[in-house]
Amino acid sequence: MFSSVKPFEGQQFASLKKECQQNRRLFEDPLFPPEDRSLFYQGNQIGKVTWKRPKELCEDPHLFVNGISAHDLHQGQLGNCWFVAASSSLASRESLWQKVIPNWKEQEWDKDKPESYAGIFHFRFWRFGDWMDVVIDDRLPTANGKLIYCHSNDSNEFWSALVEKAYAKLYGCYEVLDGGNTADALVDFTGGVSEPIDLLEGRFGQEEEARNQLFERVLKVHNRGGLISCSIRATSQADMEARLDCGLVKGHAYAVTDVHRIRLGHGLLAYFKSEKLTMIRMRNPWGEREWNGAWSDSSEEWQRVSKGERENLGVTVQDDGEFWMTFEDFSKYFTDLILCRLINTSYISIHKTWEEAVIFGAWSHNEDPLRNRSGGCINHKTTYLQNPQYVFDVKKPEDEVLICLQQKDKRSQQGKKENLAIGFDIQRVELNRTYRMHKSQQKLFSSVYINSRSVFLRKDLKEGRYVIIPTTFDPGLQADFLLRVFTDVPSDCKELTVDEPPQTCWTGLCGYPQLVTQVYVRSGVGLEGQDSDGSSDPYLIVSCEGQKVRSPVHNNTLSPEFDVKALFYRKKPKEPIYIQVYNKNVLKDSFLGQVTLNGDVSDLQQDHTLHLRGKGNRQNSDLPGMLSVSVITSNVLTNI
């Protein structure tokens, strides 16, 4: 997650600060000057703006006053509640904000060494696979002597305004930040992976079991240092920032600042009765307008909680924008939830360690179908498989797999261009697939297709080989993308780039494949060779011309669902194909039987049942062992 840091636009903070100190002058950033082009891309919408340094706004400026807190941030004259909400979440995670605000003590104003102050700061954001170190000067836009944009409760605290300025520089100007996605800011602050959850679609407000499962997920993300945000969807422009009777605001991003099981009762009764409520705490970036229903700041429900528990939770009766709700009420009122997971890739950890594959790719258009990499979604059947293809392996009987596809952000000083509608499909392929697919296989899952910067999918996959096909919704579009795949064990994820076996100088001597054959074994029944407990641990091997494909072992069954695909590029089409079944044993695996497919297999149809030839019939049964096999052949190698 914390990769090496790159200087944004080549500006080196240490050397720039040293130069300013030597010349005894305050830094003036030539790349983000105090001009309207640093504020707007559509033209001045505010009026007269005066850029001032913190020393011109107060006598005793500080980066932090009494530490850092979610209460430090208040949204200014910019529709960037998404950024402010993400910043509020960030403020509650010391390990994260110290990454965004590096060596903060050295950046703080020092009364004892005023000559060391050079008017220069730097902040770090994760952008498309890299941590970028963004340098700024401390000149901030003001009107009537007050900060125009993000500001703190304390007039002499400036970390929030300076972080916002660095973020605006990263994206071109302040106005570009007007309207956005909290998920993007959470990823920029952490390098994590954001998972959007539609609370309406999941029916979490109505279904208790689903809601309890969701709470466990939210609690786990929170306890493991992740960042969380939520909102109530606005269905029209008139709905934006409309206040409901319960005090909540539509179309507005809230930061989740705590997730907790709260113990009800007082004294020993609280411990013996052990009744708990699932609760969630949020903050409005405006610093006001709170939830006024059950468990709001001054509601009588808090009398059911001991004084010590209330103090531990930090329950206050101030209109500071922060409030508690039961998770049940939260699920009824809020429509969208964003979980930004911190993906732990460290081997020295008490928490789950993920294996990460990071691949940079591009959708690029070419008139040649074999070179085109912008085929659009599966609706465009003739071009769909011309998209980039990435193969990965699941090496456990079952593994939780996280996949995130991110396109390069379209925000720039020239304006907010619309992101492309992107998504991806996952197809299960042959265990030995090494060349690009030219015919769709077994499509298992699809992400949503949305014009978001990133899309995410979390699925449990069985052992096998899979192909990810990232696409734009429409064909012919071009963009760079970043694909991240997280598994429990290394997935060996890589791009499939070659269409068929290449011809080499040895082709004339050793021969070149004349035929491609796909063998699909889907089931086996009546297998012979039982263990002492009457069961079996079968697996099969498919072999052809010296190539072998081995299936996973199926434990404790005599009727396994093999679901095994193998692909053979054949130089000698008349050579047979063997399907052998074995029983897994500690010392030596026992042979259960085999099927031999003649070289000419084109007459076999799908759902063809073949009888195993083994040691005899299954014990206590007169059924022979059988396999259900499909065989597909093609005389054109790129057809499969």
Just list the catalytic residues: 81, 252, 284
163 burial via Cβ count (<10 Å: 0-12, 13-18, 19+): buried
3-state secondary structure of 265: strand
Spell out the residues 6+ positions from residue 15 whose beta carbon is closer than 8 angstroms to its own: none
Positive or negative, the Cα torsion across 19, 21, 24, 27? positive
Residue recorded with tokens 């997650």: 1
Both tokens of 477, joined, read 């579009």
Contact predicate 167/122, CB 8 Å: no
Closest CA to 424 of 458, 401, 455: 455
Residue recorded with tokens 């980039």: 388
Report the alpha-carbon distance of residue 447 to residue 485 in Å, rounded: 14
Buried b (16+ CB within 10 A) or exposed e, 241-255: eeeeeeebbbbbbbb
Report the alpha-carbon distance of residue 396 to residue 491 in Å, rounded: 10
Contact predicate 629/608, CB 8 Å: yes
Residue recorded with tokens 């084109």: 602
Closest CA to 182 of 452, 376, 389, 369: 452
Both tokens of 124, joined, read 């770090």
3-state secondary structure of 409: coil
Strands across the sheet with 120-127, in order? 5-7, 130-137, 120-127
3-state secondary structure of 23: helix
Q: How far is CA 461 from CA 399, 427, 557, in A?
A: 5, 11, 21
Express the helix, strand and coil content of the chain in percent, nearest 5 each.
20, 35, 45
158 burial via Cβ count (<10 Å: 0-12, 13-18, 19+): buried
Contact predicate 343/1, CB 8 Å: yes
Report the alpha-carbon distance of residue 54 to residue 157 in Å, rounded: 9
Helix (H) / strand (E) containing 188: helix 182-190
DSSP class of residue 384 equals: G
**How remote is the C-alpha of 539 from its chain's centroid?**
35
DSSP class of residue 533 equals: T
Q: Indicate the pairing of strand 5-7 with strand 130-137.
A: parallel
Phi and psi at 312, nearest 5°, equal -65, -35
Both tokens of 141, joined, read 């836009």
